Structure 1
Amino acid sequence: MTRKTTLEQASESVPSAPSGQLGARVLHARLVKGMTLKEVAALAQCSESSVSKIERNLASPSLAMLHRLAHALNTNVSELTADKWPNTGPVLKAGERFVHSFGHGTEHRGIELETISTAVKGSLLQANIHILQPGAKSDGQIEHVGEEVGYVLEGSVILLLGKERYELNAGDAFHFSSHTAHGYENTGTHIARILWVNTPATF
């Protein structure tokens, strides 16, 4: 079987999380917490208008911004983006997993996360396949509690750990403390796919 080599093929037949629900979930989480737009924006290091636009589905946050919003609201990215998983047991079949798309400005588009675990808040670990289109990069670096382990399945990426840059190719692996500011970028000309596991479930 020919291996998929484009972002569209990699996402083919995989259900996407309903984008319209993100804003409602961010709004609901904020109201449940009794927080103002100003309070959430301060914790998420963004403007009040950015939070307001996300809540009204007028803007799509980058993965880094969504992570900061989830942290500010004491939840995780999966709870804000994924539908409730059907009670089908511990197995997630190929072609039946959610793929979440993230974008914030032209240079940050082309990042998708294919969920391969049903982690919720309080889970000890979480796993996704990060799918990076050529030229895609994270919106700055993030840091949080926990540890991260990854394995490059396809393509090549630059892993950013603080001021250090590591060039990784298919077959390379990494492990670092999530307290270290981290991000990545696909500087290659082909799609990159990374199996990424982190503890606890922050995404």
Structure 2
Amino acid sequence: MNESKQIYRVAEAARLTGVSASTLRLWERQGLVVPERTETGHRQYNADQVARLKHIAWLRTDRGLNPAAIRENLDVEEQSSTVEMPREANDPGPEIGPRLRALRHASGKTLDAVAADLGMATSKLSTFERTSHGFSIRDLRDLTGYFGTTISKISGEEPIENRSMVKSGEWKTWPTMAPGVTIQLLAEGRNMMDCHRFVLAPGASSEGAYHHEGEEFIFVLTGRFEITLDGQEFYELVAGDSLYFESRRQHSWRNRFDGETVLIWVNTPPTF
């Protein structure tokens, strides 16, 4: 078998690394390495991940670093070795995760502390900080709100100059942040409202409920859209339907149509 494609189970990866299997599980909880999983949930490591494990063991044993210092060391090494590649349309690129990591560092918070406060796995937060992938709209709202910012600001998509009129089809598109969710800007500048055009692929969703300050208005252009408020009010909107609600209410949503659903979504004040 090609060595680069070799897959190791946890016991074998532990033996190659020179630590116990429980140590590998601990490192996973600490966000130092994220193994792949089989369909039955068993951990498995590829050759690159085993090399990373060996490096972690060396940083811990020979350099005496604690988990937080190991994470910082790995992050610096990954950044210095990254080669910038051309970005595809709607690819979030590497910016959003590292920007949020910089906010975390500035706040003096550890990965474990932030993850615990937000109720998410440390490994998930660590992976997002490195790759800018793996988060839902709800996750991004929770994390940006935690640091007192917005998705617009952290993504670098907040426009500086106002453009009063936006021609059809000339909408600026945000970097993709959730599978099947395309968000287009309908009003540019620092306004009192966030005005967006959402294009949702079949099955696209918020992947959980979230809430924040303000008020929201939704108008469905095409397709079928389901939204739940406070876990007990269920609304199914079709083309021509609209909904107005207070943003402080827990809300989750999903495209229930077997094709694209397109809608207008307005928030005030700007919190997106």
**TM-score (normalizing by structure 2):** 0.61
**Is 2:116 aligned against 1:42?**
yes
SS where residue 100 of structure 1 aligns? coil
Matches within 5 A, 1:161-180: 161-162=229-230, 163-180=232-249
Structure 2: which 5+ residue stretches go unaligned? 1-88
The farther-off stretch of 164-173 and 43-52 is: 43-52
Which residue identity is paired with 2:219?
Answer: Y
- Greater helix proportion: 2
1:185 maps to 254
Give the alignment partner of residue 193 of structure 2, picking from 125, 128, 131: 125
CA RMSD, Structure 1 to Structure 2 (Å) = 2.4
Question: Structure 1: how far apart are the matches of 2:116 and 2:253?
Answer: 25
Give the alignment partner of residue 63 of structure 1, picking from 137, 147, 154: 137
1:6 maps to none
Check whether the contact 1:17–1:82 (CA below 8 A) recurs between aligned residues: no
Shift of 1:186: 1.1
Shift of 1:156: 0.9
1:82-103 CA deviation, whole Å, 9 max, x = no partner? 3463646444443350233233
Check whether the contact 2:211–2:247 (CA below 8 A) recurs between aligned residues: yes
SS where residue 185 of structure 1 aligns? strand
Check 1:168–1:96 CA distance in 2 against 1; reply closer, same or farther (3 A cut). closer
Question: Structure 1: how far apart are the matches of 2:250 and 2:97?
Answer: 27
Check whether the contact 1:78–1:119 (CA below 8 A) recurs between aligned residues: no
1:3-62 CA deviation, whole Å, 9 max, x = no partner? xxxxxxxxxxxx636432111211122223332222322333212221111110163311
Matches within 5 A, 1:1-203: 16=90, 18-57=92-131, 59-83=133-157, 85=159, 87=161, 89-93=163-167, 94-103=169-178, 109-118=179-188, 124-162=192-230, 163-203=232-272
Check 1:195–1:16 CA distance in 2 against 1; reply closer, same or farther (3 A cut). same
**TM-score (normalizing by structure 1):** 0.79
The farther-off stretch of 93-102 and 60-69 is: 93-102
Q: Could you say which structure has the greater relative contact order, defined with CA pairs below 8 angstroms and 6 or more residues apart? A: 1
Question: Structure 1: how far apart are the matches of 2:269 and 2:114?
Answer: 22
Structure 1: which 5+ residue stretches go unaligned? 1-14, 104-108
